[in-house]
Amino acid sequence: MARVELESVSKSFADTTVLSGINLDIADGEFLTLVGPSGCGKSTLIRIIAGLEPQTSGQIRINGEPVDHLRPHERRVAMVFQSYALYPHMSVFANMALPLTMQRLSLWERVPLLRLFSARRRRVMPEIRREVQSVAAQLQIEPLLNRRPAQLSGGQRQRVALGRAMVRHPNAFLMDEPLSNLDAKLRVHMRSELTELHQRLKTTFIYVTHDQVEAMTMSDRVAMMDAGRILQLGTPAELYARPSNLKVAQFIGSPAINVLPVRIGDGGMVELPGSPAMIHTSLPPGSAASIGLRPEALHLLPSGSPRDGAVLNARLRRIENLGAECMLHFDLLALPGHGVIVRAASIKGLSVGEEVVLGYDIASIHLFDAKGERAEVLPISAHPAQREAATP
Partner 1 sequence: MSAFRLRQARIERWTGLGFVTPAMLLFMLTSLIPLAVLLGLSFTNYELGAVDTKSVGTANFAKAVADPVFRRSLGNTLLYVAIVLPGAVGLALLIAILVHGRRRSRGFYEVIYFLPVTSTLIAMATVWQFLLHPRLGPVNAFLRLLGFDEVAFLSEPHLALPTLAVVGIWQLLGFNMVLFLAGLSAISKDLYEAAEVDGCVSGLDRFLTITWPLLMPTTMFVMVTTSITAFKIFDTVAVMTRGGPMGSSEVLLYNVYLEGFQYFHMGYAAALTVIFLVFILMFSAIQSFVLERRTHY
Identify the three-state secondary structure at position 176: strand
Rounded to the nearest 10 degrees, the angle between the axes of helix 92-104 and helix 119-139 is 130
Identity of the residue, 115 or 210, whose beta carbon is nearer to partner 1 in the bound complex: 115
Per-residue three-class SS string for 298-328: EEECCCCCCCCCEEEEEEEEEEEECCCCEEE
Decide if residue 4 touches partner 1 (CB under 8 A). no
Q: Does 50 bind partner 1 (CB under 8 A)?
A: yes
Cis amide bond preceding 336, omega within 30: no
Give the torsion through C-alpha atoms of 53, 73, 171, 167, to 10 deg: 130
How big is the site for partner 1, counted in residues (CB under 8 A)?
27
Give the separation between CA 328 and CA 193, rounded to whole angstroms.
33
Q: Which three-class secondary structure state does DSSP give residue 5? A: strand
Nearest distance from C-beta of residue 378 to partner 1, angstroms? 51
Residue 83 to residue 104: CA distance in whole angstroms: 27
CA 242/CA 224 separation, integer angstroms: 13
**Residue number, 64 or 88, with CB nearest to partner 1:** 88
Q: Residue 15 or 266: which CB sits closer to partner 1? A: 15
Alpha helices in 16-118, H assignment, sequence order: 42-50, 92-104, 107-110
Smallest distance, partner 1 to C-beta of residue 166, A? 12
Q: Does 77 bind partner 1 (CB under 8 A)?
A: yes
Q: Which amino acid is at 92?
A: V
**Interface with partner 1 includes 102 (CB under 8 A)?**
yes
By CB under 8 A, name the one of 52, 227, 256, 327 that touches partner 1: 52
- What minimum distance in Å lies between the beta carbon of 70 and partner 1? 11
Which of residues 59, 103, 254, 305 is near partner 1 by CB under 8 A?
103
Binding partner 1 (rule: CB under 8 A), the pick from 61, 129, 147, 148 is 148
Q: Does 113 bind partner 1 (CB under 8 A)?
A: no
Residue 71 lies near partner 1 (rule: CB under 8 A): yes
Cβ proximity to partner 1, 1 vs 347, nearer residue: 1
Q: Is 146 helix (H, G, I), strand (E, B) or coil?
A: coil
Residues that bind partner 1 (CB under 8 A): 50, 52, 71-73, 77-79, 81, 83, 85-90, 98-99, 102-103, 107, 110-112, 148, 150, 164
